[in-house]
Amino acid sequence: DWTMAAFRGEAIKSIRAQVGEGRVLCGLSGGVDSAVAAVLIHEAIGENLTCVFVDHGLMRLGEAEQVVTLFRDHYNIPLVHVDASDLFVGALEGVSDPETKRKTIGKLFIDVFEAEAKKIAADGRGAPQFLAQGTLYPDVIESVSFTGGPSVTIKSHHNVGGLPARMNMKLVEPLRELFKDEVRALGRELGLPPAFVGRHPFPGPGLAIRIPGAISREKLDILRKADAIYLEEIAKAGLYDTIWQAFAVLLPVRTVGVMGDGRTYDHVCALRAVTSVDGMTADFFPFDMNVLGRCATRIINEVKGINRVVYDVTSKPPGTIEWE
């Protein structure tokens, strides 16, 4: 793609112009945006970029490992992997209010990231003066997209918002003029694996907001298994790229079922899939019932703790994409 090749060259020039010999810190989330930003900045300034991946233990199955492998082994980009799952899961114990969950995660994230930044600043190579973010154009106008009016915040969004000022760092945001599909094109241009580039969006607070009510390690494990089966079936049906976002939700409701000769009393799993252009509005995805049926059968047979599967047919508005 010649436009993206041109953009790549221009972006590298302007990153170099902004940063000079300075050091840049980049938080990786596991998503496409921060990964593309990191690879681009690495191409511009090499070893002066340090990536930090705060693993909150709320990722999907195998995802944390994939990020580490991609950056360390494939790209050879210096990456600090912080396993903070005990901290996050511990802090969320007994927390069931959606906004309190989001704020707890957001605050902890900043604390952990800041502590890592201080360690990196003390490594003898001087403190990083820049913080890189995979901010996209729609995020720049986020105040419009995520509020229901002048004073109504629907969901508090999770990012490192206050951090640059607190740590006296300047922002590097090489993707601020791009839309999601352009970031994907740039990612392909930079040689990121197609499967990685085509990934569905994933929220910062992770699986915590896909378990209404209080989370636990056990619930996270159940949800990860159900979610992986669901996405595997979607891929097998050739629908992954048609769908904007698909995921499982583990409900805090148990219902009665029968398996073999026995009665079961287990959790309900809700499946969600939507089509969308930018996440601001969305339509529920009209699956062929056979696909959904296969997902339900596999989830119930293979995931201990779930005995019923339902499908969410709510569009946005009035629903939001995530359940919390």
Applying CB under 6 A, which residues contact ligand XMP? 155, 157-158, 201, 203-205, 245, 279, 316, 320-322
Q: Are 311 and 288 in contact (CB under 8 A)?
A: no
Nearest distance from C-beta of residue 62 to ligand XMP, angstroms: 19
Nearest distance from C-beta of residue 76 to ligand XMP, angstroms: 27
Which of 133, 245 has the CB closer to ligand XMP? 245
Nearest distance from C-beta of residue 154 to ligand XMP, angstroms: 6
Which of 155, 294 has the CB closer to ligand XMP? 155
Nearest-CA neighbor of 25 among 156, 103, 125, 104?
Answer: 125
Which three-class secondary structure state does DSSP give residue 62? coil
Nearest distance from C-beta of residue 148 to ligand XMP, angstroms: 11
Which of 72, 157 has the CB closer to ligand XMP? 157
Which of 30, 174 has the CB closer to ligand XMP? 30
**CA–CA distance, 13 with 6 (Å, rounded to integer):** 11
Which of 187, 205 has the CB closer to ligand XMP? 205
**Other CB atoms within 10 Å distance of the CB of residue 162:** 11
Nearest distance from C-beta of residue 300 to ligand XMP, angstroms: 25
Which of 57, 204 has the CB closer to ligand XMP? 204
**CA–CA distance, 288 with 284 (Å, rounded to integer):** 13
Alpha-carbon torsion, ordered 143, 145, 148, 152, to 10 deg: -30
Name residues whose C-beta falls within 8 Å of residue 202's C-beta, 6 or more positions apart in sequence.
29, 30, 31, 59, 60
Nearest distance from C-beta of residue 315 to ligand XMP, angstroms: 11
Nearest distance from C-beta of residue 321 to ligand XMP, angstroms: 3
**CA–CA distance, 78 with 68 (Å, rounded to integer):** 10
- Identify any residues that bridge with 137 across adjacent strands, giving them in sequence order: none
Which of 66, 320 has the CB closer to ligand XMP? 320
How many Å separate Cα 201 from the centre of its chain?
Answer: 6
> Can you spell out the DSSP letters for 143-212?
HHHTBSSSS-BSS---S-TTHHHHTT-EEE-TTTT--HHHHHHHHHHTT--HHHHTPPP--TTGGGGGSS
**Other CB atoms within 10 Å distance of the CB of residue 18:** 17
Q: Are 269 and 248 in contact (CB under 8 A)?
A: yes
Nearest distance from C-beta of residue 165 to ligand XMP, angstroms: 20
Q: Where do we find the tokens 């793609």?
A: 1
Nearest distance from C-beta of residue 9 to ligand XMP, angstroms: 29
Which of 8, 199 has the CB closer to ligand XMP? 199
Which of 103, 298 has the CB closer to ligand XMP? 103
> Can you spell out the DSSP letters for 107-146?
HHHHHHHHHHHHHHHTSSS----EEE----HHHHTHHHHT
